[in-house]
């Protein structure tokens, strides 16, 4: 006859074997932050790559369909009066990127912008936050 203790050990042993292998410790950084990693900060707002991509995509969609939205008529040409060093040549276009992480469709544009080329290549993020007048600073 099997004792209760032996039965309990046998049951616990089978449960342990059914568990997945333990995770490595410490966890690899990419396991902790996969898609929600801050890649760019404008002022106190940290933007994810997916949010940046969505803003460029939305702005580029308007540009390619020859449409503009909002009182600032976005997207519009960004003249780069500040002289930022972008990878591609002008013309550049600016389009709002919002603190709500939703694509801009009109209304208040907030202080932050994505800058992209006519070919929809991201050049950088700029912000009015901390800049004087209507100037921009790089994020």
Task: Establish if 3 belongs to a structural domain.
Answer: no
Q: Which residues 6+ apart lie within 8 Å of 111 measured at CB? A: 42, 43, 127, 128, 129
Could you give the residue numbers annotated as active site? 76, 94, 128
Angstrom distance (rounded) from CA 98 to CA 45 = 9
Q: Which domain holds residue 100?
A: 35-138
Domains held by the chain: number: 1
Task: Establish if 28 belongs to a structural domain.
Answer: no
Q: What is the pLDDT of residue 50?
A: 96
- Distance linking the first and last C-alpha atoms of the chain: 74
Angstrom distance (rounded) from CA 115 to CA 111 = 13
Q: What is the pLDDT of residue 131?
A: 96
Task: Establish if 101 belongs to a structural domain.
Answer: yes
Q: What is the pLDDT of residue 49?
A: 96
Task: Establish if 9 belongs to a structural domain.
Answer: no
pLDDT in tens, the chain (139 residues): 554 444 434 444 544 444 444 444 444 444 444 456 899 999 999 999 999 999 999 999 999 999 999 999 999 999 999 999 999 999 999 999 999 999 999 999 999 999 999 999 999 999 999 999 999 999 9
Q: What is the pLDDT of residue 35?
A: 52
Q: What is the pLDDT of residue 8?
A: 39
pTM: 0.74
Task: Establish if 21 belongs to a structural domain.
Answer: no
Q: Domain of 51: which CATH number?
A: 3.10.450.30
């Amino acid at each position: 006859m099997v004792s209760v203790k032996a039965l309990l050990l046998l049951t616990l042993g089978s449960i342990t074997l059914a568990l997945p292998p333990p995770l490595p410790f410490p966890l690899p950084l990419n396991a902790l932050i996969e898609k929600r990693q801050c890649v760019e900060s404008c002022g106190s707002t940290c933007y994810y790559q997916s949010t940046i991509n969505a803003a460029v995509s939305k702005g580029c969609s308007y540009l390619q369909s020859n449409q503009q939205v909002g009182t600032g008529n976005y997207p519009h040409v960004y003249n780069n009066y500040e002289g930022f060093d972008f990878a591609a040549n002008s013309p550049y276009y600016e389009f709002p990127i919002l603190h709500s992480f939703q694509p801009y469709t009109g209304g208040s544009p907030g202080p932050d912008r994505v800058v992209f080329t006519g070919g929809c290549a991201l050049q950088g993020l700029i912000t009015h936050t901390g800049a004087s007048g209507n100037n921009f600073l790089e994020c």
